[in-house]
C-alpha cells in the first residue's frame, strides 16, 4: 500500500473477516467508501436499477393493498405466497401468479436485475479481492514474548525470510522461508505475547504497511475458484462500503422486506482495529 505523505492524520486501519468455516474466510481492508478504481460506472448503473426495482415493487404493493382492500403487510404476505415455487409461478386459489401481480414497469426492471445481479456480484467480489484482500497469519497456539517460532494455521501464501508480519501495533520479522501450507513460522524475538487466534498480516518490506490486494485477480478466477456463498458475502461487504446498505430507520413503514433483501451489514462484529501510530519494528539480532 502506498504511503500518503500529506495526510495530517493517518486513517485507522480496520481489517474485517468475511466468510465462515464452510466458505473460508477472507480478511478485507475496510475503508468506509469505495474508490473510483473499485467502482466502475456500470456498478453505479446496476445499483440504481436495483433501487428502481425496490421503489417500483413497493409502489405496486401499495396499489395492490388498495385494490384488495387490505393492509400492506397482508399484501406482502400474499405476494410471498405467490413466490413459493420455481420462479414464483405457483398457482393458488385465484389462479394468479407472482408475475401476474406485478405491473409492466416493475417486471421490466426485475428481469433486468435477474440478468445483472449475477454479473454485479461476481465483479464486486473480484474488486474486493483485487484491491482489499490481505494475507493473514493466524495463530493456533499462544506465543510468549521472546518466542521465535509461531504455530499458525496453514499458510495460504509463501512468506520469505526477511518478510514482515504485523500484529496490532507491532511488526515481526520473519527469519526463515515458509511455504504454502506451512503451520510454523520462524520469526525474530516476539516483542509481545500473542494469544491463539491472533491475526497478523503480511506487510510491504519498504513501507511496513499491510499488503492488500491481488492485482492479477480476475472475474474468471472468482467464478472458477470462489463459492457462491462467499461471493455473496464479498458482494455484501462491497455494498456496505459503497453505502448501498439500507438504513431501516430511514425507510417508510412497511419496507422491512427491502432491508432483508439488501442484506444485513457484516460489520456488526469481528472487526480488527489497528493503529498506525507507535509501530514497533523488531530489530534483527546482530
Question: Strand, coil or helix: what is 133?
Answer: strand
Dihedral angle of Cα 178, 180, 185, 188, to the nearest 10 degrees: 40
Whether the model pTM is above 0.75: no
Query: pLDDT value at position 5?
Result: 76
Residue 259's nearest CA partner among 250, 269, 270 is 250
Exposed/middle/buried for residue 252 (C-beta within 10 Å: 0-12, 13-18, 19+): exposed
Is residue 30 over pLDDT 80?
yes
pLDDT, tens digit (0-9, with 9 covering 90-100), for 47-57: 777 788 888 88
Q: How sure is the predictor about 177, in pLDDT bands with cuts at 50, 70 and 90?
A: very high
What are φ and ψ of residue 8, in 5° steps? -70, -35
- In the chain the domains, ranked by start, together with CATH numbers, are 13-30+134-213 (2.40.30), 37-131+219-268 (no CATH)
* 48-86 pLDDT per residue, tens: 777 888 888 899 899 989 999 999 999 888 888 887 644
Give the closest residue to 149 by CA, choosing from 135, 131, 136, 137.
137
Amino acid at each position: 500500500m502506498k504511503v500518503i505523505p500529506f495526510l495530517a492524520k493517518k486513517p485507522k486501519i480496520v481489517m474485517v473477516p468475511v466468510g465462515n468455516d464452510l466458505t473460508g474466510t477472507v480478511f478485507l481492508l475496510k475503508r468506509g467508501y469505495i474508490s473510483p478504481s473499485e467502482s466502475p460506472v456500470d456498478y453505479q448503473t446496476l445499483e440504481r436499477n436495483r433501487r428502481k426495482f425496490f421503489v417500483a415493487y413497493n409502489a405496486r404493493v401499495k396499489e395492490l393493498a388498495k385494490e384488495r382492500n387490505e393492509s400492506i403487510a397482508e399484501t406482502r404476505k400474499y405476494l410471498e405466497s405467490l413466490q413459493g415455487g420455481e420462479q414464483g409461478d405457483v398457482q393458488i386459489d385465484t389462479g394468479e401468479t407472482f408475475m401476474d401481480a406485478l405491473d409492466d414497469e416493475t417486471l421490466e426492471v426485475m428481469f433486468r436485475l435477474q440478468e445483472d445481479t449475477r454479473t454485479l456480484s461476481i465483479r464486486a467480489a473480484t474488486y474486493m479481492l483485487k484491491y482489499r484482500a490481505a494475507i493473514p497469519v493466524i495463530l493456533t497456539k499462544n506465543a510468549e514474548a521472546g518466542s521465535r517460532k509461531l504455530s499458525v494455521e496453514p499458510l495460504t501464501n509463501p512468506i520469505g525470510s526477511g518478510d514482515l508480519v504485523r500484529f496490532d501495533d507491532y511488526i515481526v520479522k520473519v527469519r526463515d522461508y515458509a511455504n504454502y501450507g506451512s503451520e510454523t513460522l520462524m520469526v525474530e524475538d516476539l516483542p509481545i505475547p500473542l494469544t491463539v487466534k491472533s491475526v497478523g498480516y503480511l506487510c510491504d518490506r519498504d513501507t511496513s504497511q499491510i499488503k492488500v490486494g491481488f492485482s492479477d485477480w480476475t472475474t474468471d478466477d472468482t467464478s472458477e475458484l470462489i463459492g457462491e456463498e462467499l461471493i455473496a458475502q464479498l458482494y455484501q461487504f462491497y455494498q456496505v462500503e459503497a453505502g448501498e446498505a439500507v438504513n431501516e430507520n430511514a425507510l417508510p413503514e412497511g419496507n422491512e422486506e427491502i432491508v432483508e433483501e439488501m442484506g444485513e451489514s457484516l460489520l456488526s462484529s469481528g472487526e480488527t482495529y489497528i493503529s498506525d501510530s507507535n509501530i514497533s519494528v523488531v530489530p534483527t539480532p546482530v
